[in-house]
Structure 1
């Protein structure tokens, strides 16, 4: 698959329970079996080859790629640097390489009694952090005669399924009630979190999607991954909002759930302006609704009426946050039920080349209404635009010359969000219009 710009990106839905519960279930599934350690996968005849195998369903050099290029491999080492040590000192949690709140996302933080002889916590976010404890499927998954479904039944995590992959990734890259990067942690110096499933899937891939992959696991659809990821992230946000323990800290709500730039901006800027999607006036701290905004665009080719309803319910949630905790919970639960009811429809939808313009048109219409006054939403738009542009190429809707123009305009769009402290809605909207004008 062709990927460019900042980074490049058979759905089975978990139809029961909340997103937070699903994320907790994803972590539970990863931790269900003994973790044998990265070394168990690194043999030259397993995934540690220096070059791809010619007659294999997989490249066999995944370990080498992970070790050299994937930041997950260095996640534990990050905890040893000065910035991490400073954060830990400010939080009063001691050595970050020993603190569970850090290890949960910077390492394969499996319980001691679930660690095999070759397991090392210093390996960082290794194979089994995402693929699950390998004690039952390590040998079987190397056998070409063993079906993928059989490996899943033995504890391999279904990372090929967008919903389940989103639930697992978001458990760290967004946070759940048990794995939250709180405002307190960010106040101590932790970077702001930003995640989009399709883009982040292709940031540092250690596998290729081809005929063999599709035959075993079903056809890959990057735009559908983007769409599903937005829905799961929206559910995750709403579940945290109504969680009495995770969503509230004393008399304050958990501020990490709100838009950072609603507060963290130059005091003398006088830059406030209305946003139709919130209905709020100046001086009101607002929820970070970027994923809810994007889920409306997800729905553009699927159900336009549902997209309008989602906008109304999102506005109702914003208004409820100015009234009371009870009103906020009621509005959030109603909106959460709406998203949940639509997610299966989105996951089953065939996002093909005929649907892409509807998505871009919906995104551009929001730009004209001033919806990207919030940096977080614009950031998500850039990643969405990338997924759509890649789909144009993969679906053969553009020739080489048009593709080059689209790539250049996508890069120009990313350039406008490169520095959040120098964010300009006008520059972003201009770049977005130029990208849309070049689209087929």
Structure 2
């Protein structure tokens, strides 16, 4: 049974995924003579770079989430359907969903990436990922519940296990989570829990590489390590986790760490819809595409963003899975669709690396630009400005700016709420 979408006689482009790539493509094509169908599991776009601030009570979830229908409420050629793809039929040119099927002239897969636990069953079961707003809220709840439990505990070992936080993965997410937690430990938690000794709380960052921020400059790696140490974070480099049972973390060299909170930010893998044959897949569970982002062998099917694996002379092992790649691929594909409508030749994608950045806390950040690499307070201001301008919606930008301003002058944030769904809500099917 087909999903109810009007038949307009226009070419239909179905976009699966409303992350950076999918949303940018839809906005790029909104004025073209085509019908757009945007499909996502959620009815909102979420700003992934600030998940860590939701997890550490710095921002509320709604500040980094924006309703898709609000974004496109004035557009008459965009149809939003909240569901997921269960299969792709390239012969009939249609996708299957729990709601029904949708035919397409062009299908764009922009489903992004999910957490890679590297097959470790214990880590998969007990580790906490941060690839969605709901997972960030879950981490916030877990941290706050542990603190609430800690005030009732007398046993020193159990108390320390509740307070300790271990973060695995020394990329921007891991570094930013540790920096935010260290600032909470220093400025916020002693005021909320005066009867707890936060000298017992250890924040540990584990990274498998010999340096942090893989993909950024050596200067950025060194500076971020210095900042973390200044904040009291224990950094373990060239170190791998092999098991976690919910209380004890086992490392490759046999060392054991005690913690009931393991934040997993160590890797990602493509989140491919069911129905994509394995012969179209590359390493990292990504879909192989050519320079026009076409899935070779599947007529009218494209992939962009984290899910796409494209080899170019400058990126022989595929592009990095970062927002800038997703946004630029979306723009290029949108332009190619417009050229296609005009009967013109498509242009191949070429990534323009505009630089990378990461923040470690108040007045501490690192920025890598092609001609300039800097750190410190100015880098922190640049990081804030870039992220603020990337947020969807003026209201959201204003809310985030107010939160940041308040936190800067008060050394506090007032969003430490434990919000759990009721039993009835958990049982209700979506």
Q: Considering the TM-score relative to the shorter chain, is it more than 0.5?
A: no
TM-score range, shorter chain: under 0.3
Greater per-residue strand proportion = 2
Greater per-residue helix proportion = 1
